Structures are given as structure tokens and as C-alpha cells.
Chain A
């Protein structure tokens, strides 16, 4: 089983690889196009629309908050409604409210859409997931005969119940692998055949959608023997988006903070954190090392910001204005080891931003590499009170000291 496996997904996801998350209703709509069954349902943005959707579906419905985070069921983000009136009531309790789940962080997410769906006649709940296996350079197909919210607990408590198989997309899922998957789901008869076919279809869907994660949890076996995707999570490889405009349209900018949106538009890799030292660094590895240095010096970074290799002066200016406009930032640390990125370009961008928008926080810079001499000249001629540190450790210590001594409330 799966315990020494490797994966695309991991704690670095937010720092190095960008994935586009999409909503459950969008994931289900994509899966439907591959012939995968999903519950009868409609999206609603107002309680009135939810009522109409429930009337159209008929009978009892589920009203599910659409946010880019899991754990919604446990957090009260999926409500049962016996009638259209109850569906309207349920929608009004979710829409416009902040939903905090185990995966959203304490700030939660504002619900702007709900999915109204038929309630399935559940015989059994199963688990099916696909992701990238990094060390095998293939896909990992995971199945388990018990689905629902506790599948991770199942994987650690009963690893024998979770079957992981490596699949190579050029060949697709081998017939023997499909049968093993159906067997591990504990199915027989017609449901066995349908599960084997579903597994093969999911591999094709994953490949076609350029997914990095495709998860159906639970996959429901109904009393009439159908296999229905009761929930679906899909994440798309950001690198595929330039070549797939149809996938790009699934992006929901409402799920991003204004700062994240601005950073993304400028081509910056930006993650807001909860400290008070703003960082501008080139390269994800050096940016993480800079965060480590700040922590070692007793401080806390306010963000992760990698300007990337092909950054422009405008993008650096944008990066700097993002930091200096954040009221939580009390000092800024710029750590650049110029390779492709030229030190003088970075200084030009920062000086420009500081002149145009002002600069209310002390700035410590550590510059090394390409065009360092030009950068030093620009800096000393700028008349701006920036500190130039000889190495990155000194820079981090100084930024931490300045954040401590900076006045004013956080």
C-alpha cells in the first residue's frame, strides 16, 4: 500500500506549483462529459434560485456550499432539505456567510454559490482518487471500499483496504488493473463491471483535463446498482492553462484575495502568511530559505513572494507595493541572488514603487549576482533610506530587529 508513496500534492503546493482549484459543481459537470453519473442538481446564487432548483429536482434535496475547500460536510456546509421551502431556508443560511472547515484556515471562505442536488438512495459509499505519483512518474489510482469523510483515517488504520496502482497514461488503465480496482471496491455482478469501466474512464478524464487531482468521495452505489459521483474534487495543472482556454474559464477569482489576484496578474508567486516581515525573493527555494532565516532570527514572515525568473521592473514594483500597502508588515526584506534576474532591475522596480507610493516600512536588502554594482549605484543615488546587508543572515536579523522597533500597532 501507499505509505511510502510519493506525490504531486504536498505541503509545498502553495509555494512551488500552482494548481487551479475548481468548484464541485464544475468538477461534476466535467465528469458528466465523460459519461460519469452525477446526482441531478443545479447551482444557485440566491435562496429563491435554490427553491426553484429544489422544485425542479423534486423530493428531498441537499444544499451544498460551493467553496474551494474540503471538509464542508463536517462544518455544516451541506444541509438536507425536505421541500423547496426548506431548500430556500438552507440556502439563506449558507449564502453570503463565512464557512470555516478543517481545510479553510480560521478565516474561512465566503459562500457565494450553493449546489442543490437530489438525495441519493445510498447502498454503499466508496472511494476513488487519482493523482500524480512523482517518484514513479505516473498516475496513482487509489480505491477503497469505504468512502465518505473518514477515508484518511481508513488509510492509516486499515491500509490493507486501500489499493494503490500506478498507471501510465500512454497505455491507460490496463484491463487487469481495472478489474483489481473493482475487486478492491468490494463490488460484484453488474456493479463490478461498471466500476472497472469507471476506473478506466477516470484515467482518461484525468489525462484529458490535465488534472493533478481527481477525487470522487464518496462514489455511491445506489439501490438500483448505479455508481454515482456524490462529491467530486478536481484540481488542474496551472501549466496546462495557457493551452486550454476552456479549462481557464473555470477559474473563480472570487476565491482569491485581492492581493493574491494582483500578484497572480503580475506573474508573482505570492502567499500571505501571518507574520510582520514582508519578503521579496527570487526563486522558490531561496524564498523558503529566507523564511527559515527570519524564523531563526526570531521573527515571522508576512508572506512568501517569489518574483520568478523572467520578472519585469513593473512586476517588482507591484510586489513592493503589495508589501508596503499591507498594514501587518512592519519591515521588508529583499533577498535577491541575481542569475536571470538582474539586481539593478529589482532595485529600479522597488525605487520606483517607493517614489510613487511612498514607503512606510524600513527596508533591508541583500543583493548578490548579476549587475550588483549597477544596483548598488542606483540604491545609493536614490536617496531612499534602504539598508544594504552584506549577506542574507545579517539581512534577516536586521529585518527582524527593525520589525520589533517599528512603532505603531499591528
Chain B
């Protein structure tokens, strides 16, 4: 088992013929992902990297039975691509694109509430279940199959954590980058709930960042009882806060969002706190060994 994606996942790549789409589709196929279709308007009926290309996601669903999508289209067209995937009945949408307007994402989330689709991202490295399928841009070879679930707001910092785990012989069940944008699809809480139910996942690593309240919400969720050990690192403990303007943010956020506060809440919720980002792997090893 694993969460979100496995060997049976059939993927459509939106924007498959573009530069990024081509490069990363090639690597996803090499990794063993079943890329069953691609979508590029006006290139329907052709083959790209041996994959049949369609004009629309709906046609890819009809003809190839795809159930997951990876989006590489530029920010200007990404909202439309997200909408198209959700309306075509895609189960899991992974949106790699960065730079999507925040207010567009607000509207996409309104639409997603009315469809069964799960969204990962945008501005994410994607989702990988090592040895089964990779839907995204993360370097495949650093991953190993195993018992550790990983959920993160970062890209390269996730690779760093995965690398530390793999070097210690700790493989991963699934690694999920929830995305670095203000408005994203799946939250820490959503992914923690999925890992809780996954029998293959024995421990979870949560990698947060300063800003927002995703970590605070994760802490509140863990506090209600969680059956697996969790190690957490929040990046930016030493980052000086930004210059700010106006009061609306401070009032509405109630002073939250600092790494210190996030770390304290996660610790109070029972997570094993990692203060040195070079020791994420070691903390997980200790958590799995049941040491404190």
C-alpha cells in the first residue's frame, strides 16, 4: 500500500508536448509510472514519447481510462487546465505549475468542493510512491520503498529529507509535496489522515515552513490522537520576519505563523521536533525505534 498513487495509477500529463512536460514525462515513464495519455490542444491523435495525445482531458479519460493528472501547463493556462481535469472526473490532480494567481486558486477550490477530485499543489514537486509510481518532478533515484510517509510544503527541502532517510536505509511509503503556494489543495491534515489509514506507513515526517497556519492545524489534528510517530521540522526558525504593511494580516492571523509557535504546538501535540534540518533522517530512525 501507499497513499494517493500506486502501480495501478493511470496518468494523463496535461501539457505533455511542452519542454517541461516532455522532460519530466520521460523521467516518469523511466521510473515506471503508467503514463497512459497526454493532453495538448490541437495535437490530439498524435503520439508523443510513445504516449497517445488528446485535445482534451475528457477524451483521455474516455479512451485511456486515466484517473490521475499531472499538470505542466504555464501559469496563464493552469487554472483552465485544473478546471478541465476536475470536470472530466479525474480522481487525483497534481499541479506542478508555479505562479498561478492566488485569486484564481480561490475560485478553483470553490469548484473542487463540488467534484470528487483531490488536488495536490500547485507549486509542488508532486507525489511519489517509491517503486510504484512518480507523479511529479522529484529526482526518482534518491527514493527507496519503505515505511516512512513524508508530507512537506517545500520542494528541494523534501528531496533533502528523502535523501537523509534513504541514506539511513529508511524507505518511503509515499512522499507528498502539498505545494508552496498560499492556497493549495490537500493540506497537512488531509495527508496525515491518509497516512494514518495506510498500513504500510509506520512513521510520518512533516516538513513545514513559517507563514500561514497549516502547521498549527496539523498540530490540532495530531492532538486529537494519532497512532503513528511523527517527526516535524519547521523551516525558518531563524528567519527574520518580513516588513509588513497594514494590520489586516496581523489581526486575522492573530500573531500566528512563526516557526517558534508552529514548533511549540507540534511538540505539544506529541511530534518529535527536529531543530537541525540535517537531522531529519536521524529523528525518524529514533522515532521508529521508539526511543525518545
Contacts and interface: CB of A to CB of B under 8 A. Distances in A.
Contacts of B158: 285
Interface string A1-22: 0111111111111111100010
Given A282-B156, A304-B239, A6 B213 contact: yes
A392 interface: yes
Interface stretch (B40-48, B80-88, B230-238): B230-238
B239 to A, nearest CB: 5
A391 B164 CA distance: 10
A239 interface: yes
B142 interface: yes
Contacts of A84: none
Contacts of B210: 10-12, 15, 288
Given A170-B107, A337-B160, A12 B257 contact: yes
Nearest to A109: B243
A27 to B, nearest CB: 10
B278 interface: yes
A70 B125 contact: no
A66 interface: no
Interface string A262-280: 0000000000010000000
Interface stretch (A88-96, A191-199, A210-218): A210-218
B197 interface: no
Contacts of A288: 157, 209-210, 235-236, 239
Interface residues of A, number: 86
A105 B250 CA distance: 17
Contact of A21 (B98, B100, B213, B245): B245
Nearest to A271: B242
Nearest to A217: B247
Contacts of B207: 285
Interface string A42-85: 00000000000000000000000000111000000000000000
A374 to B, nearest CB: 15
B115 interface: no
Contacts of A338: 139
A301 B254 CA distance: 28
B259 to A, nearest CB: 8
A239 B100 contact: yes
A174 interface: no
A169 B249 CA distance: 19
Contacts of B244: 9, 13, 70, 103
Contacts of B152: 285
Contact of B103 (A16, A127, A169, A369): A169
A137 interface: yes
Interface string A227-249: 00000010101011011000000
Contact of B237 (A105, A156, A213, A295): A295
Interface string B139-156: 100100000000011111
A8 B249 contact: yes
A368 B240 CA distance: 27
Interface stretch (A128-136, A178-186, A313-321, A351-359): A128-136
A207 interface: yes
B252 A164 contact: yes
Which of B76, B233, B241 neighbours the largest number of chain A CB atoms within 10 Å of its CB?
B241
B185 to A, nearest CB: 10
Contacts of B233: 289
Contact of A70 (B156, B245, B252): B245
Contact of B243 (A69, A137, A142, A309): A69
Contact of B109 (A16, A137, A155): A137
A12 B212 contact: yes
A286 interface: yes
B247 A237 contact: no
A284 interface: yes
B211 interface: yes
Given A239-B75, A292-B237, A129 B212 contact: no
Given A286-B157, A392-B160, 16 more contacts: A9-B252, A12-B239, A15-B236, A16-B180, A69-B243, A133-B252, A137-B109, A151-B251, A164-B252, A213-B248, A233-B245, A233-B246, A235-B246, A242-B76, A309-B155, A339-B137
Interface of B: 20, 75-76, 98-103, 105-107, 109-110, 125, 137-139, 142, 152-160, 163, 180-183, 187, 207, 209-214, 216-217, 233, 235-258, 275-278
Top-3 shortest CB links A-B: A285-B154, A9-B249, A12-B211
14 contacts: A4-B213, A6-B217, A6-B253, A9-B252, A11-B258, A162-B251, A233-B245, A243-B101, A273-B240, A281-B156, A288-B157, A295-B238, A309-B98, A340-B137
